[in-house]
Structure 1
Amino acid sequence: MRGTFTPHRTLAAVLAMAAAGTVALTGCGTTEKPVKPATMPHMEPQQQDVFERRADDIVRHWPKHLSPMPGRRAAVLPLVSAERPKDAGQREITVTVGHSACDVHFGARQYESEDVVVVSGWGKKKSAKGMCTEMLATDKVKVKLEKPLGGRKVIDAATGKQLAAG
């Protein structure tokens, strides 16, 4: 007896090879049908959001002059200012976010590279219903950095301009 045929062993082997993307299954005919590797939801490449795309663009082209983003987006609000910490070893900067007076949630986010820290404000309104003034509100927000700021430039994602010269 050369080997025992068991449906479970054969199926397990086929599934293992299919997961690796190396199997071509055939039916009764002679046409081969390639099997694509299975994809897991956590393995799919994540799409960059509008802020991440803009920040990535700034990092690639810095220090060339960048034009401001067209229009106003709640995910990329311009900053009023940024305060450079006195100690370059700190992992936190304070920015002043300009947002709508109707925003119930607001904050700032960062995108870091070796040379720059791209920062943007964001805001979320309470609802689309009801009246809202076009009044600008400003609030200071602390942004935590992955690495100390050091000599890196702080760039506003919305305008493409350097903040907190240092």
Structure 2
Amino acid sequence: MRGSHLSRTRSLAIVLALAASGAVALSGCGQKQQTVGSAPPPKKQDAFERRADQIARDWPKVSPVAGRQEALLPLVGADRPKGSEGKDIREITVTVGHSACDARFGARSQESKGLVVVTGWGKKKSAKGMCTEMLATDKVKVKLKGPLGDRKVVDAATGKELLKG
């Protein structure tokens, strides 16, 4: 009986130590073993995702963001692809206003039931060398997860409607 008591005490100590570390192996009726641990931390939203959620929540009462942010560059406009008619549009073209100093630039979107929130983004070149602060504009295609339908396309930086579906 004494050996059995020590064995149970050691097993309990091991289970408690594993529980404290966030992972415990449990078994039921000795057949299947299952590992239980803490859930992964929630993904932290970036500036664009937070802004797109705010626009979807507050639409149409949305104010522009203050200042220039690399993740929220204003868009000059948005166009449907040429020759596309109807509600099955799954791609739009936006004109991104970015710095001539940006080494890379592009656009991204976040979709909800009634809106497609789009932003431009830019990554500056390294600080070496001279660069003008001249505005450059380029067209960028944005693929949509679902058809545009009747949704409105909204610029994340300005909060303005660019296109009606």
TM-score (norm 1): 0.78
CA deviation after TM superposition for structure 1 residue 75, in Å: 0.8
Post-superposition CA distance 1:89-136 (Å, at most 9, x none): 132211111111121110001111111010000001111232111211
1:70 paired residue number: 66
What are the residue-to-residue correspondences of 1:16-165 with 2, within 5 Å?
17-18=19-20, 19=22, 43-64=40-61, 66-85=62-81, 86-165=85-164
Partner amino acid, structure 1, of 2:15: A
Q: Return the structure number with greater strand share.
A: 2
1:5 paired residue number: 6
Partner amino acid, structure 1, of 2:57: R
Runs of 4+ with >6 A deviation: none
* Cα distance between partner residues in 2 of 1:132 and 1:67: 31
TM-score (norm 2): 0.78
Identity of aligned residues (%): 62
Q: What's the secondary structure of 2:72's corresponding residue?
A: coil
Aligned residues between the structures: 148
Unaligned runs of 5+ in 2: 25-36
**RMSD between aligned alpha carbons?**
2.5
* Cα distance between partner residues in 1 of 2:94 and 2:14: 56
Unaligned runs of 5+ in 1: 22-37
